[in-house]
A and B are shown apart, each in its own frame.
Chain A
Amino acid sequence: MKILVTTKRVTDPGTKIKLKADGSGIAADGVEFKPNPFCENAIEAAISLRDQHGGEVIVVSIGPDEADQTIRSAVAMGCNRAIRIDGNDGGLDGDLVARALAKLAESEQPDVFILGKQAVDGDSNQVGQLMAEYLGWPQATFASAITVTNGGKSAQVAREVDGGIETVEVDFPAVITADLRLNEPRFASLPNIMKAKRTAIEVKTLADLGVETTLKVRTTRFEAPPGRQAGKKVADVADLVQKLRNEAKVL
């Protein structure tokens, strides 16, 4: 089984985001970067599918030189090959990422392309779906379990949807996007981290892939959301009930 999987370098979800004073973007100083958590679930799924069914896992990221570090942590988890598509974070939208990944999929011809369901910086939740349509492949988004069926020709995927869990079966080649409960991403061992440092990362440009770079969606302004005032502490349950009735008037 040949599996393509993505990783994206994102700001650490545990740190506080600061904005530039003029609202033109995120203040980069002191920002830590991490692999997108959903991508780590995607990578874990790809590696364990390969370990069960054989084949290879190729990790790809679209980003600047700095994304190499993010790619290496995916290699340290166990990916066989690594590709970076050179791109500046500010010069991308979901559609451009999807078209670039679709071009790569056309040349690599994987059985499955696994992505995260969303990137926790942009929170867009669209790249996997857009790419699936560009390729004409079926998709199973928000996956919480994957079982290969029909002797490796398809997979049944449990999907976390409103109201419960839906299971769909998709014929390969297919796109799957990972939800957080799909698995517990492994930690890389020290020897694998050392090995990943020496792994060659193949770098491609958007031009190499023949991808048109006009953006469809532009972010023109970044603002902080309105803050919320902390209210008061109540003494006990009786006080809470009294305030909910007389002050908040919700009882």
Chain B
Amino acid sequence: MSILVVAEQSNGSVKKATYAALTAAREIATATGLPIHFFAFGPGAANAGAELATYGGASVLVADDASLQNALAAPAGAAIAAAAKDSGASWVLMASTTTGKDVLPRAAARLGGGLASDIVEVRASGAHVAFVRPMFAGNVLATVEIDTPVKLVTVRTSDFATAGPTGGASPVTTSASAVDAAKAAAGKARFVSFDSSGGDRPELTEADVVVSGGRGLKSAENFKSIMEPLADAFRAAIGASRAAVDSGYAPNDYQVGQTGKVVAPNLYIAVAISGAIQHLAGMKNSKIIVSINKDADAPIFQISDYGLVADAFKAVPEFAAAVKAAKG
């Protein structure tokens, strides 16, 4: 029996989210005494494997194969299931990114294992491990038990620290069975294109400061002219409410909330966002919350450390300038 951490990597560099899943894995390892293995897949996996080898695992399995390019769900799920068998895994963890959510269930079905999605806590009592996960847009924390021999979880990265390397060098080996399984499962889906919403701002889920704009900004031009200087002043990532995304003010992957990204930065600044429960689900664990809204009764103020009742069009440029001056 062992624990398998499935890494996410692109072009050989491991995504930071993986190391939040590793923290959860280390908690399971502490409770159960089981060793941790890693699995990296797709072109570049061998290089990613070299990095993972310094994180104290018993081994690193890799499947560096073209059939796993773009992490299409069927081949990726098949490869993960094969790697889990190879490493004798009784626990399989992956970060709850859109890739993790897309592919890990397919591995679960192959392994006949129960899957708990988006866990926020590992709750161990002795060697027995249960998980806590939010339900109902974060209104409920549920304790879940997985009853199958192989147990799978996706890990909400904002609730686990980023694990660090331990030094040393675990052996890195290619999992031939993972490559074979991926090849056999490939073919019915094809990657067509990727349209990046990119920019050079910090990743929303990793940023120290997040500034989010809502429907009150009223247009894409306003969203840009109000939110970008504020983000620049804080070197922050930009987020948005669903209403702002639906209205086309911001790209889809800026959405923070129940059905978008979950963030927990040191500082979260909500601008012209009312504070619907589905939005709070994605940001209420931020350390300091600031909100700027012209309606003194906006629900967002009930969870904010600092609330400013003001017109965003006037207050935010002033705020950005003051922060820029303060930061020098």
In the bound assembly, the distance between CA atoms of A121 and B117 in angstroms comes to 13
CB neighbours of A217 from chain B (8 A): 114-116, 144-147
> Within 8 Å of chain A (Cβ to Cβ): is B225?
no
Are B109 and A130 closer than 8 Å at their CB atoms? yes
Are B102 and A129 closer than 8 Å at their CB atoms? yes
> Within 8 Å of chain A (Cβ to Cβ): is B30?
no
Are A13 and B137 closer than 8 Å at their CB atoms? yes
Nearest A-chain residue to B77, judged by Cβ: A133
> Within 8 Å of chain A (Cβ to Cβ): is B304?
yes
Are B190 and A123 closer than 8 Å at their CB atoms? no
User: Which of these binds chain B: A48-56, A62-70, A192-200, A232-240?
Assistant: A232-240
In the bound assembly, the distance between CA atoms of A133 and B80 in angstroms comes to 13
CB neighbours of A222 from chain B (8 A): 135, 140-143
Are B145 and A17 closer than 8 Å at their CB atoms? no
Other-chain contact of A228, B197, B261, B267, B303 (Cβ < 8 Å):
B303
Are B109 and A171 closer than 8 Å at their CB atoms? no
Nearest B-chain residue to A233, judged by Cβ: B307
Say whether, besides A163-B196, A220-B145, A251-B323, A233 and B114 are in contact (CB < 8 Å): no
In the bound assembly, the distance between CA atoms of A181 and B307 in angstroms comes to 31
Residue-wise interface mask of B (134-154) relative to A, using a CB-CB cutoff of 8 A (1 in contact, 0 not): 111111111111111000000
CB neighbours of B162 from chain A (8 A): none
- Determine how close the nearest CB of chain B comes to the CB of A120; give it in whole angstroms: 7
Interface size on B, residues (CB 8 A): 87
> Within 8 Å of chain A (Cβ to Cβ): is B310?
yes
Nearest A-chain residue to B102, judged by Cβ: A141
Are B73 and A129 closer than 8 Å at their CB atoms? yes
Other-chain contact of A250, B105, B113, B288 (Cβ < 8 Å):
B288
Are B306 and A160 closer than 8 Å at their CB atoms? no
Are B73 and A138 closer than 8 Å at their CB atoms? yes
In the bound assembly, the distance between CA atoms of A223 and B133 in angstroms comes to 10
In the bound assembly, the distance between CA atoms of A132 and B74 in angstroms comes to 9
Residue-wise interface mask of B (157-199) relative to A, using a CB-CB cutoff of 8 A (1 in contact, 0 not): 0000000000000000000000000000000111111111110
In the bound assembly, the distance between CA atoms of A243 and B322 in angstroms comes to 13
Are B143 and A220 closer than 8 Å at their CB atoms? yes
Other-chain contact of A132, B106, B130, B196, B267 (Cβ < 8 Å):
B106
Residue of B101, B137, B246 with most partner-chain A CB within 10 A: B101
> Within 8 Å of chain A (Cβ to Cβ): is B253?
yes
- Determine how close the nearest CB of chain A comes to the CB of B132; give it in whole angstroms: 8
In the bound assembly, the distance between CA atoms of A152 and B191 in angstroms comes to 18
Are B117 and A123 closer than 8 Å at their CB atoms? yes
Interface set, chain A 1-41, CB cutoff 8 A to B: 11, 13, 16-17, 19, 26
Are B73 and A132 closer than 8 Å at their CB atoms? yes
Residue of A11, A138, A142, A218 with most partner-chain B CB within 10 A: A138
Other-chain contact of A233, B104, B245, B251, B301 (Cβ < 8 Å):
B301
Other-chain contact of B192, A168, A221, A234 (Cβ < 8 Å):
A168
Other-chain contact of A161, B142, B147, B253, B323 (Cβ < 8 Å):
B253
> Within 8 Å of chain B (Cβ to Cβ): is A215?
yes
- Determine how close the nearest CB of chain A comes to the CB of B171; give it in whole angstroms: 30
Are B144 and A120 closer than 8 Å at their CB atoms? no
CB neighbours of A169 from chain B (8 A): 189-190, 192
Are B137 and A120 closer than 8 Å at their CB atoms? yes
Are A118 and B259 closer than 8 Å at their CB atoms? yes
Are B140 and A17 closer than 8 Å at their CB atoms? yes
CB neighbours of A130 from chain B (8 A): 105-106, 108-109, 115
In the bound assembly, the distance between CA atoms of A178 and B146 in angstroms comes to 27
CB neighbours of B259 from chain A (8 A): 117-118, 120, 179-180
- Determine how close the nearest CB of chain B comes to the CB of A188; give it in whole angstroms: 22
CB neighbours of A167 from chain B (8 A): 191-195
Are B135 and A244 closer than 8 Å at their CB atoms? no
Are B242 and A180 closer than 8 Å at their CB atoms? yes
- Determine how close the nearest CB of chain B comes to the CB of A139; give it in whole angstroms: 5
Can you give 11 A-B contacts (C-beta < 8 A)?
A120-B137, A133-B108, A162-B253, A166-B70, A166-B193, A181-B245, A219-B142, A220-B130, A232-B307, A233-B296, A234-B308
Query: Which residues of B approach A to under 8 Å, CB–CB?
Result: 70, 72-74, 77, 97-99, 101-106, 108-110, 113-118, 130, 134-148, 188-198, 205, 209, 242, 245-246, 251-253, 258-259, 261, 266-267, 277-278, 284, 288-290, 296, 301-310, 315, 318-319, 322-323, 326-327
